[in-house]
Structure 1
Amino acid sequence: MSELNVMDVMELIPNRFPIYYIDAVESLEPGKKIRARKNLTANEDFFQGYFPDEPQMPGTLILETLAQAGSVLILKSPEFLGKRAYIGGINRAKFLEKVYPGDILYCEFEITKMKGPVGTADAAAYVGETRVCEAEFTFIVNQDA
């Protein structure tokens, strides 16, 4: 059972089709960490053009999905209510495995440091138990939500 469903997430973040990727939040510790998922189907628009003979999810979209999970975490944290989160930077991104139609992408995002409105987080994406991507995010939380 999910802690947050698609409609719950859509109430939090401004992203919409075709750049909305979170299907559910499985676990959430406000101010600390989140685990969300994206169910990938062959109908995703990017699969049509990204290596059509071997469709796969582009790495940039895996990072975007991780960022959206991070946004949900930040915006569900009491100290950030009514604010908006932005990516400030992505460091040490590594793409370890390909992600294909039919996969379920699990996104974990854990805040490691906050200093004022700027924070850092460790993020990783998995298919099953296999880590497919990892990165460190810098994010900025603003009042203009």
Structure 2
Amino acid sequence: MIRAVIIDDEKNNIDNLSILLKDGFPDLIIAGEALNADDGENLILQYKPEIVFLDIQMPGRNGFDLLRSLAVHHFELIFVTAFDHFGIQAVKFSAIDYLLKPVNCNELKQAVEKAIARIFEKKQNKQLENLLDVLQNQHRTDEHR
């Protein structure tokens, strides 16, 4: 299962996105939903999601402020916003995609598939790194015998 968090100041946008995700990606679970950046940050820290769907313009702190407040982020980021002029900034945060509201189902599908591919790639790389560490340690042990 892949954990996701949705952060958007409009509840109906969260609900619509949740429905699309549940219908299209049964292996993706929505671990949490937040209506503002502060609650969203808490959800990210609590659930450690693999994908975050993030609105940009929200009352108080915006989506970029939330990202800046995290020391690092290990999740795949998909911006979902009504504004098209934040694209350059989104790229600087290594976003997988930048979807405009109302969300197009095909674009959402492509973005989530890309995120899932990256997640599995990271997991495979981690497994290979662990295997390499084991082999190197075994080699060192054999040399000392």
Structure possessing the higher relative contact order (Cα contacts under 8 Å, 6 or more residues apart): 1
For normalisation by structure 2, the TM-score amounts to 0.26
Which of the pair has more CA radius of gyration? 2
For normalisation by structure 1, the TM-score amounts to 0.26
